[in-house]
Structure 1
Amino acid sequence: MLKRYLPILQWLPHYNRHAMVDDTLAAFVVTLMVIPQALAYALLAGLPAVVGLYASILPLVVYTLFGTSRTLAIGPMALISLMTAAALSKVAPQGSDAYIEAAITLTLMVGILLTLMGALRLGFFANFLSHPVISGLLSASGVLIAASQLANIAGLPGSGFTLTTQLANIWHHLDQLHPLTLAIGVVSLILLLAIRRSRPLLERIGLSAIWAQFSVKMGPILVVGISTWLCWVCDFAAQGLDVVGDIPSRLPPLGIPSTDGEVWQSLLVPALMISVVGFIESVALAQMLAAKRRESISPNQELIGLGTANIASALSSGMPVIGSLSRTMVNFDAGARTPAAGALAGLGVALVTLFLTPLIKYLPIATLAAIIIASSIPLIDIATIRRTWRYSRSDSSAMGATIVLTLLEGVELGIMAGVTLSIALFLYRTSRPHSALVGRLPGTEHFRNIDRHEVESARHLALLRIDESLYFANARYLEDTVYDLVAKHPDIEHVVLICSAVNLIDASALESLEAINNRLDDSRVTLHLAEVKGPVMDKLKSSDLLDHLTGRVFLSTYDAWRTLH
């Protein structure tokens, strides 16, 4: 039981020197990558840059204790930072002490919600966000994140969390554009995008695939170093260029977040949204990488791991954290063997925070904005949007609504709309289950749709296959289907409902089956069932349906055909 809630006890007894070497190397690479990202995502959330560093220390250590993924890298993430800024803007003005305190409170609430969801084993709730909705949310968020940084990259005041407000803000303040800031931001962005595409060139000039990939991943470090050095040498700050400024060289202060009931009430819905989105993204990423190594993770324990990591972040003056795609992939590619790599990366960030923050003083805000824009571009997945449109117009409508509402009304409303539409589409599809009259393929025991195959059939026998579980939303539709079938074929004497695809019959559907049985009996038509699955049959046996069924329950459709034909 203890190993279940403390996964570290499963791998720590087998930890050896080789694993430690691999984890240390991976932690070094991730630490280099975390620094500019942590600073940038804190900026995106409207928080002091140091908060991003604080959120990349203790949470990583705590996740090592409670997380089940061996390669998931915890930390601030672009989408969650955007959602954090949107939530906090309704509570306190950006830059105020109340804003920072609200951020810590929000982080604690996210941690508590995730931990409770894990303890109650509610990981299945994440399934209510379909993949098209998630893809639409990420694509729209990528656009929002990039648009939110256009003001910073041009030296303009930022405002708004929807695309229309962000673009309107830029238009209204265009006369305040700062040429030097724009130059630094645009050049930084061009360098970041060029480095990202430089791997083939680096391999052609002689670098191995591993070193070429490493060089590309370290692109943000190079851009940060160059822009910071230029700003320091040329004293661009004196010319109006916004820089990070002084960052305290100390470990994060420990404390307790606000206990103001109004603040907690205002942040409850955003905290729930951040919890669900963060969990879905983290678990999907962790499962994908675990499968590559033939490992497994526990979604419910991941909820606890992410929850305790956020609680640790709140207690150490941090911001909400989840599994980061870019850092996790770097961690995986760098050869991380256990969650200890995350703890070592947290130690590395702590050392940077203690001893190297003076080097970040002259880092231009425009460079951090460029890093955010470059990291948000991959979120815009045009290929998936096109593929979903070609495959399913209903799914693409949910995706489209999520994209439009996220862009025009914000991430929270986009998520709620996506979840609502996903559930509505599911109910609509299952409320009108596909059914088919089937016949026997000549000379076989197989039965297929009479409209698709050349089959044998009988005028007095209707073999009706139901391709959906039966529940309250489709119970009446089933009745109408059977009654319409009998009305159109007056020679029918036997109706066999083939239940091979039925995994559930709820109370409403049971009443409908009883009504069908009685009405067909009045019409001198016998109702039979075939291929009823074991768990469904167990439930039927606890009802009166089988006692009053006018026909029989057949083990197979072929048995029904052979008996009734």
Structure 2
Amino acid sequence: MTESSVSSTQNLHKKDGELPRIPTTGRWLDKIRPMDLVKTRIPLLQWAPKYKLSYFLKDCLAGFTVALTEIPQGIAYAKVAGLDPVYGLYSGFMGCFIYFIFGSCKDLNIGPTSILSLMIQSHVYNLGPDMAVLSTFTTGCIIFLLGLFNLGFVVEFFSYPVIAGFTSAGALQIASSQLNSLFGIDKKSSEFVEAWKVVFQNLDSIRWTDTTLGLLSIVALMVLREFKRLGSLKYRPELSTGRNIFSITSFMLFLSRNALIVIIGTVLAYLLEESDGQYPFRITGNITEGVPSFKLPPFSTVYHGHNYSFSDMTKELGSTIIFAPLVAILETVAIAKAFAGGKTLDATQEMFAVGACNIMGSFVSSMPVTGSFTRTAVNNASGVITTFGGVITGLLVLLALTFITSTFYYIPKATLASVVICAMFYLFDFEAFVVLWRTKKSDLIPLLVTFLVGVFWSLENGILIGISCNLLFVLYSSARPKFFIEQLTCGGRCVYLVSPKTYVQFPAAEYLRKIIAESCTVEGIVVVINGKNIGNIDATVARSFSILREEVEKRNQRLLFIDLKPVIRQTLLNMDASLVQIIVDTSLEDAIRKINESSDFSSLSSVT
């Protein structure tokens, strides 16, 4: 973003800062001011009164630039989902309009994405395009409800290894599904193994024209992507006019690379049309013209002559009903945080916004939408000032639907495949494998589990099994916490000081008793458990400590607790009131002195 853009943004939000938050304690109902609540949930009301003409011009430029990326990507992602290309354009405008009103991140672009397209692909193949629209509606409703009940924390169960494995599996699945189009093979394929099987079984059907066009398009896209290193949209007075023109032109080529490649492929297909109506490439074909009608999402459908009820359709969606909203939230919140510019992000508001985008999108036959990292980055680089940039993008998509859908007829499928494959190459998280190998090799296990299950089974099962694998590691570390055992001499006695390094929960109760039994075997010693690092315990741990006291005293030893937090102390006493005798409120030296003076412990041997 240019310096002027940053300055403008700061001025725009200078007085507001973060979105006002609803108090969560005390008499919060008395503290809520209705207008503050309205502004919190409709951020448009915060910045609209300060809007300037200069902001409008920058938003128009950014919106136009994003549209150059969104239109070809929308068409390509519709093909990924197994839908007619027009569904990608249906998904490209309503989300922009709704997010303009309810969105809090100026850079975020809402629209179709590769991962969500892949998640609905099998359902579209089984029961038709109505499955995509219904999935949009259910996704929006669930996201909205999760925001309403502040349940967005569920995405915190998606750890970095699971996210990296999931996105990498999705990227490989999506890229593989485009191989048939890249090589000009007239066969459908969806899953990873099936896609490669189709390729190898139809090697004799590969068309050299489509393959050449597709591979050259991939090379061109990668070269154009590097043009961002040659300049920016910012005019630099220290450079010559020619150098500034070169810099800005190079950056514009980078931003519009997808549209540029699609346009070149389309022109080639049109010019090389033969007299008998044949084309050297497999082309997209007819695309429905015009804006979709505004209607209720389909709660029943007819596909291949069979009627399917709402329950049949939801049964077909299966786990996608749950995982599609979670993935949508994860993508949106992660992207919004990345472009928040250091400001606190109201994740609940983002969930409301994305939920509303999907609900309203389902009324115009949209497939599920969420934040797009690629288009958000383009929006940011183009110097967008407010979410009004999304309105310009949405209007341009509507114009494309109204006036130029006939030109989409000539788009080669190999060109669309190259756009998707190139995007997936950069979506695949190669760095995650290196980072986890260097930092913590055990984290590679949930990453690989998520990745392999996602590739060879399904993305939904990849997420589920990856999270389960990750939770097993968490449970294991909870059941096997680290203890530091130090042997001291205090007051003439041998003291074993046991210091847990982390919280002690019920899975670790038996393990703690085992560690003390194995490590503290000398008769006459004092076993001291240091509670400084124990943040919380449950009833199971409290009961285990009570049993531990009995076991220690049977070995002619003594158990003491020091530095216990009040809540830990109370939990122990609620379990066994007699434990008050071994809870030390003074220093360890004073406690040992009392032991030495007490006739109750005369059997304990002194250290000589």
- Is this contact kept in 2: 1:439–1:457, CA < 8 A? no
- After TM superposition, the structure 1 stretch with the greater mean CA deviation from structure 2, 23-32 or 117-126, is 23-32
Alignment of structure 1 residues 434-513 onto 2, 5 Å: 434-438=482-486, 460-487=494-521, 489-500=522-533, 502-513=534-545
1:432/1:181 Cα in 2 relative to 1: closer, same or farther (>3 Å)?
same
2:71 to 35, 40, 45: 35
For residue 385 of structure 2, give the secondary structure of its aligned residue in structure 1.
coil
> 1:75: how far off?
0.8
Aligned residue pairs, count: 536
Distance 1:142 1:240 in 2: 29
Q: 1:516 — aligned with what?
A: 548
Alignment of structure 1 residues 391-430 onto 2, 5 Å: 391-430=439-478
2:261 to 223, 236, 239: 223
Alignment of structure 1 residues 180-329 onto 2, 5 Å: 180-200=209-229, 206-207=243-244, 209=247, 211-235=249-273, 238-239=278-279, 241-259=281-299, 260-290=310-340, 293-329=341-377
Distance 1:369 1:278 in 2: 23
> 1:269: how far off?
0.9
TM (norm. structure 1) is: 0.88
For residue 473 of structure 1, give the secondary structure of its aligned residue in structure 2.
helix
Which amino acid in structure 1 is aligned with residue 219 of structure 2? I
Matched, 1:109 2:143: no
> 1:520: how far off?
3.2
Percent identical pairs in the alignment equals 27
- Is this contact kept in 2: 1:147–1:167, CA < 8 A? yes
User: Can you give the 5+ residue segments of structure 1 that lack an aligned partner in the other structure?
Assistant: 93-98, 441-454
- Is this contact kept in 1: 2:113–2:369, CA < 8 A? yes
2:197 to 168, 178, 182: 168
> 1:56: how far off?
0.9
- Is this contact kept in 1: 2:227–2:253, CA < 8 A? no
Distance 2:466 2:120 in 1: 19
1:551 to 582, 586, 593: 582
Distance 2:560 2:355 in 1: 51
Distance 1:459 1:160 in 2: 75
Alignment of structure 1 residues 19-98 onto 2, 5 Å: 19-89=55-125, 91-92=126-127
Which amino acid in structure 2 is aligned with residue 195 of structure 1? L
Distance 1:11 1:479 in 2: 60
1:2/1:490 Cα in 2 relative to 1: closer, same or farther (>3 Å)?
farther
TM (norm. structure 2) is: 0.82
Alignment of structure 1 residues 299-378 onto 2, 5 Å: 299-378=347-426
1:295/1:554 Cα in 2 relative to 1: closer, same or farther (>3 Å)?
same
> 1:126: how far off?
0.7
Q: 2:3 — aligned with what?
A: none
Distance 2:462 2:327 in 1: 12
> 1:321: how far off?
0.7
User: Can you give the 5+ residue segments of structure 2 that lack an aligned partner in the other structure?
Assistant: 1-36, 233-238, 300-309, 594-608
Distance 1:87 1:468 in 2: 46
1:271/1:160 Cα in 2 relative to 1: closer, same or farther (>3 Å)?
farther
For residue 250 of structure 1, give the secondary structure of its aligned residue in structure 2.
coil
Distance 1:119 1:490 in 2: 60
Matched, 1:131 2:160: yes
- Is this contact kept in 1: 2:86–2:287, CA < 8 A? yes
Distance 2:496 2:141 in 1: 56
- Is this contact kept in 2: 1:540–1:546, CA < 8 A? no
Provide, for residues 201-255 of structure 1, a one-character-per-residue CA deviation record: whole Å limited to 9, x for no partner.
6799935655433321211111111111111111166136322233333222222
Matched, 1:141 2:170: yes
Distance 1:519 1:79 in 2: 56
1:383/1:457 Cα in 2 relative to 1: closer, same or farther (>3 Å)?
farther
- Is this contact kept in 1: 2:87–2:367, CA < 8 A? yes
- Is this contact kept in 1: 2:70–2:375, CA < 8 A? yes
Distance 1:341 1:20 in 2: 8
- Is this contact kept in 2: 1:471–1:507, CA < 8 A? no
For residue 41 of structure 1, give the secondary structure of its aligned residue in structure 2.
helix
Tell me which structure has the larger Cα radius of gyration. Answer: 2
- After TM superposition, the structure 1 stretch with the greater mean CA deviation from structure 2, 478-487 or 106-115, is 478-487
> 1:103: how far off?
1.0
For residue 397 of structure 1, give the secondary structure of its aligned residue in structure 2.
helix
Distance 2:569 2:513 in 1: 23
Distance 1:458 1:254 in 2: 86
For residue 464 of structure 1, give the secondary structure of its aligned residue in structure 2.
strand
Distance 2:577 2:347 in 1: 40
Q: 1:100 — aligned with what?
A: 129
2:588 to 534, 556, 560: 560
- Is this contact kept in 2: 1:33–1:221, CA < 8 A? yes
- Is this contact kept in 2: 1:526–1:550, CA < 8 A? no
> 1:378: how far off?
0.7
1:158/1:475 Cα in 2 relative to 1: closer, same or farther (>3 Å)?
farther
Which amino acid in structure 2 is aligned with residue 497 of structure 1? N
Distance 2:339 2:103 in 1: 14
> 1:424: how far off?
1.2
For residue 293 of structure 2, give the secondary structure of its aligned residue in structure 1.
coil
- Is this contact kept in 2: 1:161–1:410, CA < 8 A? no
Matched, 1:384 2:432: yes
Distance 1:505 1:564 in 2: 26
Distance 1:18 1:364 in 2: 39
> 1:390: how far off?
3.0
Which amino acid in structure 2 is aligned with residue 479 of structure 1? R
What value does the CA root-mean-square deviation take over the aligned residues?
Answer: 2.7
Distance 1:284 1:159 in 2: 33
Which amino acid in structure 2 is aligned with residue 173 of structure 1? N
Distance 2:503 2:124 in 1: 44
